[in-house]
Amino acid sequence: MFSPQEVERYSRHMLLKNVGVKGQKALLESKVLIIGAGGLGAPAALYLAAAGVGTIGLADNDKVELSNLQRQIIHKTKAVGSYKTESARQTIQEINPGVNVKTHPVRIQPDNIMDIIKEYDFIIDGTDNFPTKFLINNACVIAKKPFTHGGILRFEGQLMTYVPEKGPCYRCVFEEIPPEDAVPSCSQAGVMGAMGGIIGSLQALEALKYLLKTGELLIGRMLVFDGLKMDFRTITCHSPNKTCKVCGNPPRITDVKKNAALYTRSFCKL
């Protein structure tokens, strides 16, 4: 089943009763899509690759900029000017050549998201703008795909996980896209680079727990981290909102293409 090299590579996983040989085999057969190869997606991708997730998808249409390197640790200085998906693919395969990396160097939009997410078992939202986060949420709810949301700004971060029919979705908690400029972006307000590592790594952990069917996921809970105070707190979210536009009964959003006007704002840099 495993080559001697794979047994050595994943030996620390196989020692865990929550993983073992069976769990490692499940990871090798799994597919995870990371949307956004930036501050959150970079550490998530590194840990998923090291863990032996068999297929990692990377969706991002941006190119590496020098200002990205302060937090997007999957990219190197020599990658400045190249597509993030290709830069990340090369780093992943240096870490673990056994991982199959699928790149989607496109902007995630209503007309392509359903086709892209359909082949994956779990989605990681590593984006940094509200229209795309709502789009990812709506598409995952409609397609019955589990995903984990993450967000960082300044010295703060948050994450939650959605699993179909097991708890509230992102839209149940944040009902509508905030008005433009209501919340500053990382490029406007700044972000401590290590915050991406903390929240992105936790997103990877949520994905791994889901694939391994172990532990308690952040379903119906928002984990909030204050980096200045070194304080983690968990906010219990209400049950699925019966009036939620995407997972309510009945849902008003059943096709992201028909609601494309909701997701028209431009990306901010991750």
Q: For 105-117, what is the HEC assignment?
A: CCCCCCCCHHHHH
Q: Which CATH class is domain 4-263?
A: alpha beta
DSSP state of 235: E
Beta pairing partners, 73: none
Token representation of residue 175: 């009902």
Angle formed at CA 125 by CA 120 and CA 128, multiple of 5 degrees: 150
Residues 136/125, Cβ–Cβ less than 8 Å? yes
Cα Rg of the chain, angstroms = 18
Token representation of residue 157: 């971060």
Residues 134/262, Cβ–Cβ less than 8 Å? yes
What confidence score (pLDDT) does residue 182 get?
Answer: 65
**Closest among 41, 129, 33, 163 to 91, alpha carbons compared:** 41
| Sequential pLDDT tens for the chain (270 residues) | 899 999 999 999 999 999 999 999 999 999 999 999 999 999 999 999 999 999 999 999 999 999 999 999 999 999 999 999 999 999 999 999 999 999 999 999 999 999 999 999 999 999 989 999 999 999 999 999 999 999 999 999 999 999 998 999 999 998 888 877 767 667 777 899 999 999 999 999 999 999 999 999 999 999 999 999 999 999 998 777 888 999 988 889 999 988 666 555 433 333
Query: Kind of pairing, strands 231-236 and 100-104?
Result: unpaired
Token representation of residue 161: 């996980």
Residues 9/49, Cβ–Cβ less than 8 Å? no
DSSP state of 257: G
Q: What is the reported pTM?
A: 0.94
Phi first, then psi, for residue 167 (nearest 5°) are 175, 180
Please tell me the distance from the alpha carbon of residue 95 to that of residue 69, in angstroms, as a whole number: 18
Token representation of residue 103: 């790149």
Please tell me the distance from the alpha carbon of residue 186 to that of residue 114, in angstroms, as a whole number: 27
**Closest among 147, 152, 120, 135 to 253, alpha carbons compared:** 135
Residues 78/86, Cβ–Cβ less than 8 Å? no
Taking phi over 0 as left and psi of -120 to 50 as alpha, with beta for the rest, 120 belongs to beta
